[in-house]
Amino acid sequence: MTSLRTLVLLAIVITLVSACSESDSEEYADFALSGSTDNSTITFVSRDQRVAAAGDEVVPLLPGMTAPAFVLQTADGSEYSFDPATAKRPIVLTFYRGGFCPYCNRHLASMRHAEMELIEMGYDVLFVSMDKPEILRSNLDLEAVRYTLLSDASASLTRAFGLAYRLSDDTIARYMKSGIDLEEDSGYTHHILPTPATFVVGTDGVIDFSYVNPNIRERVNPELLVLAARLASEDQTD
């Protein structure tokens, strides 16, 4: 059923990534397809833990591949874990740049129209950024959302999904002049951000849908996401 499910979803998916050269294709061979956690770190990553030089050079996991197990902190400091070996609920996992990004905040707001449908279908709706938990708390309107904000401050999960890229020194300096301090927000000096992306992942860990777009102004349409999630959910119950 996994292959059928993936083929059906690929028919409606637009996955926007950098053009795939032969060298890009070879890099997919460097992804392991299983893994585990030790309650704090990600052990499932691409073998070279690749960090791209730009957002349009990332090599993300694709539909049909297996997502990593992970344990991350939520905005209130508790832990959220996902392990394909034991998962009870599928997930909708969105990587965003952080609370400093107006396009990300707009996307989170637009997802309020879809989150209820996704939750009613049985999905956990998760948003991941480099922000540490206390920064997540400062940006969270607890009365308005039911999705979960997760802190990937170390960039471990972002690397595992092949979405990590490092900002140039010039960009970091420009951000600082604008009052954006990524080191303060994450607690790390890695200067890594994710290429914005959304994944639908089944309880078996298989990625059913992905949308990856290096254009930070563009995000997945909530209606398309709900449709993809519904198809994946229906297929898993057949």
pLDDT per position as a tens digit, 135-187? 888 766 544 557 789 999 999 999 999 999 999 999 999 999 999 999 999 99
Q: In 3D, which of 168, 210, 169, 166 has the Cα closest to residue 192?
A: 166
75, 136 contact by CB (below 8 A): yes
Instruction: Give 83 or 5, the one with higher predicted confidence.
Output: 83
| CATH number of the domain that residue 10 is part of | 3.40.30.10
Helix axes 222-237, 112-120, angle to 10 degrees: 10
Give me the percent of the chain exceeding a pLDDT of 90. Answer: 62
Instruction: Count, in order, helices (H) and strands (E) of the chain.
Output: 9, 9
Mean pLDDT value across residues 26-36: 35
pLDDT at 233: 86
Q: Which amino acid is at 114?
A: A
SS3 (DSSP) at 126:
strand
The domain in which residue 228 lies consists of 2-237
Mean pLDDT of all residues belonging to the chain = 81
pLDDT confidence band for 105 (50 / 70 / 90): confident
Output the pTM of the full model: 0.81
Quote the CA–CA distance of 220 and 154 in Å, as a whole number.
25
Total domains, the chain: 1
* Residue with tokens 């874990």, as numbered in its chain: 81
For 53, phi then psi, to 5°, come to -85, -10
